Amino acid sequence: MMEAFFGCQVHVLAGLGYHPSEEGLRAYNENLAQLMATSNPKDQDDLRVMSRDVWRKTLAKSFEVEFEETSELSLMQARELMHKIGLKMNDEAFLSYVKSTLGEADANSDDSKSSPMDILKRKHTTMQETLIEHVYLGGEPSVLEEAGFEKSEIGYVSLQIAMAEHQHDPLIAQYLGGGMMKVMEAAGLNPS
């Protein structure tokens, strides 16, 4: 999902004079943050809504997912759901599974011909697949089903589209960020 979003964003930003790279994306985000800090509340909300809609439309188009405004989650629903997801990410059994899964992947791979970036990308992909399979799709019912989404990759994408409304909520960021840090540590990926 992030590759689709960043790819589109870098392509569009290049047309606006930003370098088509991570540096250009970083410069744009810094400029946007400065604009948000100096804008009046109405303009800030307009920018937030536009950012949300770009994320939604990019994901919906990239993954051929229909999104209806009725699929939105309230702030309380989103916080409750992210709290559950954060708890699943911090579960010791899950973290042990991540550690062993990435360890097995490392043991079964021939990294002598791989670049450090290829190794990092493989580890990150395995970590993401494990996270989606066990945290979002795992369990009966899954957290997706509890939130009213289908238990599938499309359900996962639909959840991400619905969560876009609350992407800047500090409590949601805390739940997700804290969980991701633990998962990345277990996966042997240095978050910094």
DSSP letter string over the chain? Answer: -HHHHHHHHHHHHHHTT--SSHHHHHHHHHHHHHHHHHS-HHHHHHHHHHHHHHHHHHHHHHTT----GGG---HHHHHHHHHHHHHHHH-HHHHHHHHHHHHHHHHTS-GGGS-HHHHHHHHHHHHHHHHIIIIIS-SSS-HHHHTT--SSHHHHHHHHHHHGGGTT-HHHHHHHHHHHHHHHHHTT----
Q: What is the pLDDT of residue 84?
A: 95
Q: For residues 89 and 182, is the Cβ–Cβ distance under 8 A?
A: yes
Q: What is the pLDDT of residue 107?
A: 56
Q: What is the pLDDT of residue 65?
A: 83
Full pLDDT tens readout for the chain, 192 residues:
667 677 778 888 888 899 988 888 889 889 988 888 899 999 988 988 888 888 888 888 888 887 765 467 899 999 999 999 999 999 999 999 999 888 766 655 666 677 777 777 888 888 888 999 999 999 999 999 999 999 998 899 889 888 888 888 899 999 998 999 999 888 888 655
